[in-house]
Structure 1
Amino acid sequence: MSLFRKMALIIAAISVVILSGCSGQEYNMREGVTEISREVYSLHMIAIWVCVAIGIITFGAMFYSMVAHRKSKHPNPAKFSHSTTVEIIWTVIPFIILIALSIPAVSLLIKMEDASDSELSVMVKGYQWKWEYKYIDGDDNLGNDVSFFSNLDQASRDQASNSGKWFSGTEITDDNYLLEVDNPLVIPVDTKVRFLVTAEDVIHSFWVPDFSVKKDAIPGFINEVWTKVDEPGVYRGVCAELCGKDHGFMPIVVKVLPKEEYNAWYAEKVAEAEAGPDLNERTMSQLMAEGEVAYNKYCSSCHMPNGEGNGPFPSLVGTEMVTGEGSIGEHIDVVLNGVPGTAMQAFGNQLTEAEIAAIITYERNAWDNDTGDKVQPQEIHDIKNGGGE
């Protein structure tokens, strides 16, 4: 067996061993659970093996030349300067390879962008740092019958806080740490679902690896992408754009249900929307308990769990807006409408009346603020609908 063939076989064997070791999902692209994701995976593997073949030929020729034509064996160098035939070959062959790969790639890209004939549409809107999902009816009218926000679940928040956000050496025991939410996106199986992706504040990116779905969420623009999932289950993704300090705290969870279960879930959500907001009066202890939960979920990432603020995010402890006499109206206005030109968002359309009332009550009575002020959901509802001052 010639030296060249021996070296080529060694390189090929090493390449196969490395690729075989990396063929599992831990290292390789996921095959996914949709037709598109499987086609993407197949094209990816074809490209990988083409690269392996090119690598074997290229490095084989290089190592063969280094060994077979070394100075000790051939002290007198060859006199030729170039070979037109070789130059034509190494130009034409890569061109053919690129064309051969581009044809299925372009065909797949066109297929990925074709969201026509979808059976369900969902508006996906990114916020710092949460997702909002709105289900759209068949006439493409943006309705509010079913819409909700999806936030990082409290267990992950607690674990991040207890571990000093990764740096204290505390062991992370949750398999879905930073990958679980309070309200997952729910879609039916075997249904073509169109996602209309946008953002409220900065650029985000909606990415679910098992679907081969990744689309930028850009304020002022609506990008379109679709999926059709073959298997019921729970599939997880993340925001794939560095969107701010809590970028890693806005995961995506998609629950794919059989159609009968999805229809029952959707009917339940519609009934909840038709029932209207919960405006029942609450006691101070109820407001404080609900407010602590809501504050930790929506406010603590900026103002800190102890309310002392962080950098551009102001302290809520002993400040005039929170503890000043007669400042409750300003406090409500800031939470409802935000502060233009700052990172303070308008939460009037993000949270329920009950959550807003509880948060404001909590902030005015936690951390030794002790104002004794109490805000009820009905008061927030009246202000939002123009019935309050």
Structure 2
Amino acid sequence: MRSKLVAALAGVFTLALYSSMAVGSKYNFPEPQSIIARETYDMHIWIMWICLVIFIGVFGVMFYSILKHRKSLGYKAANFHHSTTVEVIWTVIPCIILVVMALPATKTVIAMKDTSSPDMTIKATGYQWMWGYDYLQGEGEGISFYSKLSTPRAQYENKAPKGENYLLEVDNRVVVPVGKKVRVIITANDVLHAWWVPALGIKQDAIPGFIRDTWFTADAPGIYRGQCAELCGKDHGFMPIVVEVMNADDYSKWVAAQLSASAVKTSMHIENK
């Protein structure tokens, strides 16, 4: 009785430890900030729980068999070749588990690909080693800029202390309004890149000569950081992505400022000619 109690307490402790690690660990997904990111996170946790239950079940039976049916206790090995019933059971149960996991996963993947009816469209182009952005449709149409790493060189040469957002800072952020469906058209100018912002549930390859697209709707204002997720050369680690989500009024002000600055640059360029 005592051993069973100890085993039960150990199981509860293991489940509690895993749950706390899943929620609070820095190695887990960041807090989701879009519906796709939330569904992806929930799927991740759900499947990990399934794996944990299978792990405990399989190894629990294995260790129980090893300890309770060992030769020193007088047990003798069973002499049989196979059991059709057992084979059917261990084939059907995994199939059912896979279907249970596949159905919600398929639903999320289909939702990821639904870029129809966006409120705005942004083109992201990968370069060695920076990103270019063009606002193609919606409020902000006509805005265009490059986004480069802004972490001081002294930090990554170990000549100065590392900043809070080391290698995740840019000179120009992608700015979008909260609650709007943003379609991102992704391509590359030279080699393979990948546009990845985990908090928004986005990861899409940028392929030269091809157009890929994805989308997100940010739940709350904030700054969300990501990186190029495809090895693209010596400065691959120096291609951060920063998306700033603003409320509608602040976004309109940002758009007005960007368009005004663009008009001034165009005017100066014409005058210089």
Q: Same fold (TM over 0.5)?
A: yes
CA RMSD in angstroms, aligned pairs only: 2.3
Contact 1:197-1:215 at 8 Å conserved across structures: yes
1:242 equivalent in structure 2: 231
Pick one of 241, 254, 258 that aligns with 1:252. 241
Deviates more, 1:12-21 or 1:215-224: 12-21
Larger RCO, structures 1/2 (Cα 8 Å, 6+ apart): 2
2:50 equivalent in structure 1: 50
Pick one of 216, 220, 235 that aligns with 2:205. 216
C-alpha change, 1:92 and 1:2, in structure 2 (3 Å) is farther
Q: Is residue 2:139 matched to residue 1:150? A: no
Q: Is residue 2:270 matched to residue 1:274? A: no
C-alpha change, 1:8 and 1:62, in structure 2 (3 Å) is farther
Contact 1:11-1:60 at 8 Å conserved across structures: no
Deviation digits for residues 112-161 of structure 1 (CA, Å, limit 9, x no counterpart): 110111000000000000000000025xxxx7x310000011x4323223
Contact 1:179-1:236 at 8 Å conserved across structures: yes
Alpha-carbon distance, 1:177 to partner:
1.1
The two structures have a TM-score, normalised by structure 1, of: 0.65
The two structures have a TM-score, normalised by structure 2, of: 0.91
Q: Is residue 2:117 matched to residue 1:133? A: no
Alpha-carbon distance, 1:14 to partner:
2.5
Deviation digits for residues 13-62 of structure 1 (CA, Å, limit 9, x no counterpart): 32432442342141212231111211111111111111111011001001
Deviates more, 1:65-74 or 1:93-102: 65-74
Contact 2:122-2:137 at 8 Å conserved across structures: no
Contact 1:211-1:227 at 8 Å conserved across structures: yes
Contact 1:8-1:57 at 8 Å conserved across structures: no
> What does residue range 166-185 of structure 1 map to in structure 2 within 5 Å?
172-185=161-174
SS of 1:49's partner is: helix
Once residues 182 and 214 of structure 1 are traced to their aligned partners in structure 2, the CA distance between those partners, rounded to angstroms, is 22
C-alpha change, 1:25 and 1:14, in structure 2 (3 Å) is closer
Once residues 16 and 82 of structure 2 are traced to their aligned partners in structure 1, the CA distance between those partners, rounded to angstroms, is 34
2:155 equivalent in structure 1: 159
Once residues 197 and 229 of structure 1 are traced to their aligned partners in structure 2, the CA distance between those partners, rounded to angstroms, is 18
2:122 equivalent in structure 1: 122
Pick one of 195, 203, 215 that aligns with 2:192. 203
Once residues 31 and 223 of structure 2 are traced to their aligned partners in structure 1, the CA distance between those partners, rounded to angstroms, is 15
> What does residue range 1-389 of structure 1 map to in structure 2 within 5 Å?
1=1, 7=7, 10-11=10-11, 13-74=13-74, 76-138=76-138, 145-153=142-150, 155-161=151-157, 163=158, 172-277=161-266, 378=272
Identical aligned residues as a percent: 45
- Larger strand proportion, structure 1 or 2? 2
AA partner of residue 156 (structure 2): A
* Larger gyration radius, structure 1 or structure 2: 1
AA partner of residue 151 (structure 1): K
Alpha-carbon distance, 1:201 to partner:
0.5
C-alpha change, 1:249 and 1:221, in structure 2 (3 Å) is same
Deviates more, 1:67-76 or 1:9-18: 9-18
Deviation digits for residues 294-344 of structure 1 (CA, Å, limit 9, x no counterpart): xxxxxxxxxxxxxxxxxxxxxxxxxxxxxxxxxxxxxxxxxxxxxxxxxxx
Alpha-carbon distance, 1:4 to partner:
7.0
Once residues 197 and 265 of structure 1 are traced to their aligned partners in structure 2, the CA distance between those partners, rounded to angstroms, is 23
Deviation digits for residues 81-107 of structure 1 (CA, Å, limit 9, x no counterpart): 222211111111111111011111101
SS of 1:202's partner is: coil
Contact 1:124-1:133 at 8 Å conserved across structures: yes
Once residues 261 and 89 of structure 1 are traced to their aligned partners in structure 2, the CA distance between those partners, rounded to angstroms, is 59
Deviation digits for residues 172-220 of structure 1 (CA, Å, limit 9, x no counterpart): 3310111100000111111000000000000001000110100000000
1:347 equivalent in structure 2: none
Structure 1 alignment gaps of length 5 or more: 164-169, 281-352, 354-376, 383-389
Alpha-carbon distance, 1:275 to partner:
2.4
AA partner of residue 78 (structure 2): A
Once residues 91 and 171 of structure 1 are traced to their aligned partners in structure 2, the CA distance between those partners, rounded to angstroms, is 58
Once residues 3 and 88 of structure 1 are traced to their aligned partners in structure 2, the CA distance between those partners, rounded to angstroms, is 33
Once residues 125 and 224 of structure 2 are traced to their aligned partners in structure 1, the CA distance between those partners, rounded to angstroms, is 19
AA partner of residue 265 (structure 2): G
